[in-house]
Structure 1
Amino acid sequence: MTEDGLVHQELLTIGAFAARARLSPKALRLYDRLGLLAPAYVDGASGYRYYRADQVERARMVALLRRLDMPLARIAEVVEAEGASGAALLAAYWADAETRFASQRTLAAYLRGRLSGRSSEMYGTFVVETVDVPERVVLTEKRHTLADELPVWIPASLGRLEEGARECGGTAGAPFVVYYAEVSMESDGPAESCVPVADGEAARGWAERWGRGSGVGVRVEPARRLAYARISKAQVAHPQIVAAFEAVEAWVRERGLLVDGPCREVYFGDWDAAGPEDAVCDVAFPVR
């Protein structure tokens, strides 16, 4: 008799249960350790594990979710959810996965072009021009960030700075993001969001009120000549934006110019209202 009042014959040994669930005993031990599927009973003397027949469905569900490359923590959420809630959690996970696959597919095509020596063909889709930008006072927010954090941090930080700009005579130009070092999944920059403002004195007072250590500041952005390529909302995603930056760099080299500062993205369009093909951003390098 077990502690649960069940005789051993009413339970399945781990071997028998593994065969019925089409899993290995090793996998069942892992699921137990992670809290995904605990045995119905563990013999205190021998350590043998026993399972109920009605646990087979949960075991098979865990195994099938693993075939979707779902992290074990997410699997726990799905199998613990009741009714349609589990299906909704699965749908959300798969939507994220399909977005990731689409991005990886585009990246793979881009890398095939680079490996086959066809990078210059891709650069030809971007028109590079120059523009002279005057000296400006800018509100800034600077931080170390990885590439997958940028889609959240950029609009949030620019939103905070644009709100501050309303206290500083309003915005005096398109907001932009400066990259002082590489931002990728392995390198965290830093990056700096910037919003030009009309009233420099008010901007300094606003930055002081935020206090030190917040990452917020104010500085003078010197006059610059920018070489830039205009891109659509769809092209802001990786790797298209990487190709755009490389196209500008190639254009600069071909004309014997020198890069004179960190690269940047200038956001001049209404991001929320823009469609995938609408121009919203300039990728640029200061040059001399």
Structure 2
Amino acid sequence: MPEDLITIGELASRTRLSLKALRLYGNRGLLPPAEVDPRTGFRRYGPAQVERARRIMLLRAAGMPLTQIAALLDAPSEEALHLLTAYWRDQESTHAARRQAVGYAREILNGRNPAIYEIAERHVPEQQVLFIQRHVNAAALPGFLASAPDQLFAHLRTTGACLSGPLFAIFHSLVSEESDGLVEVCAPTLNTVSPAGPIGLRIEAAHREAFAALPKQAGGFASMAAAHDAVHAWLVEHGHRRSASNREIYYPNWATAGPDEHAADVAIPFVT
């Protein structure tokens, strides 16, 4: 064994990472050893792995998921800094959204009716929509909301069709940390299209809905949940009855909007 190579135990001692974590990182390709003994399977690590392990430890301490750490560490230094800045900007936005949700919950626990969200009404005409459905919990929801539009857009391009309005997600049942809920991502279009594979086609009925317009920074799960509650409370207060499932509307600027820009609505169809 070359003199500068060390065992996994020594690497753990130098980096304060556990043996379990080091093996996990190695198995996932995040921290491959410099050398593996073909006879014993013992892993050996060099200075490059020590430095990489140190960076993994720092990024994990900041809460970054392993998949994002892998992309960051394998990127050129300038791009890596950009990825780290983007990650932390998202974390700050999520924290701000949770702070607002906690403020809303505090008012509810104190028996007050908080006026954090301004609720309005509008008429939504009948529209044809392509849709994808999936049962997801809170952890899987962001991934589904990111992947489903790509599938819908690809189908629209293949058929030569265009969007006729913003994408929206319908929550047919509650999505939480503990339970899966049925979520449907919809893409409205005026063109003639056909269903394909997991993509369905239907007519969304015209309806009246109450809604709260939200800035991008309120797009986290916690603040969205508070907005759903606020719109429902408005319906109860005004003597209206829910006529269809809750939904979230995502405007075209969703990916690029600044923290305070209007980027989404939470809406509930109702009848009087």
Q: TM-score under structure 1 normalisation?
A: 0.64
Q: Does 1:216 align with 2:206?
A: no
Corresponding residue of 1:264:
247
Q: Deviations over 1:222-247 (max 9, x none)?
A: 33221222233443444333332221
Which protein shows a greater Rg?
1
In 1, the alpha carbon distance for the partners of 2:211 and 2:266 equals: 5
State the one-letter code of the partner of 1:177.
A
Structure 1 position 248, deviation (Å):
0.9
Residue aligned with 1:68, SS = helix
Equivalent pairs: percent with the same residue?
A: 18
Q: Match of 1:252?
A: 235
Distance, in Å, in 1 between the alignment partners of 2:25 and 2:122 is 62
Asked if the contact 1:39–1:49 (Cα under 8 Å) also holds between the matched residues in 2, the reply is no
Structure-1 separation of matches of 2:17 and 2:251: 57
After TM superposition, give the deviation of residue 263 of structure 1 in Å. 1.1
* Contact residue 18 and residue 28 of structure 1 kept, 8 A: no
Where does residue 132 of structure 1 map in the other structure?
123
Segments of structure 1 that go 5 or more residues without pairing to the other structure are: none
Distance 1:255 1:94 in 2: 46
Q: Deviations over 1:55-114 (max 9, x none)?
A: 2453244134223216667767777x5xxx453564355235414422442244245325
1:251-284 deviation digits (Å, cap 9, x = unpaired): 1111222211101234566657865444344321
Tell me, yes or no, if the aligned pair for 1:131 and 1:227 is still in contact at 8 Å.
Answer: yes
Query: What's 2:266 paired with?
Result: 283
- Residues 12 and 277 (structure 1 numbering): CA distance in 2 closer, same or farther, change over 3 Å? closer
Distance 2:181 2:92 in 1: 24
Answering whether residue 146 of structure 2 is matched by residue 152 of structure 1, we say: yes
1:195 is the counterpart of 2:185: no
Number of residue pairs the alignment of both structures matches:
260
3-state DSSP of counterpart to 2:117: coil
| CA pair 15-263 structure 1, distance change in 2 beyond 3 A | closer
Matches within 5 A, 1:98-117: 98-114=88-104, 116-117=106-107
Q: Secondary structure at the match of 1:156?
A: helix
Q: Contact 1:11–1:51 at 8 Å: present in 2 too?
A: no
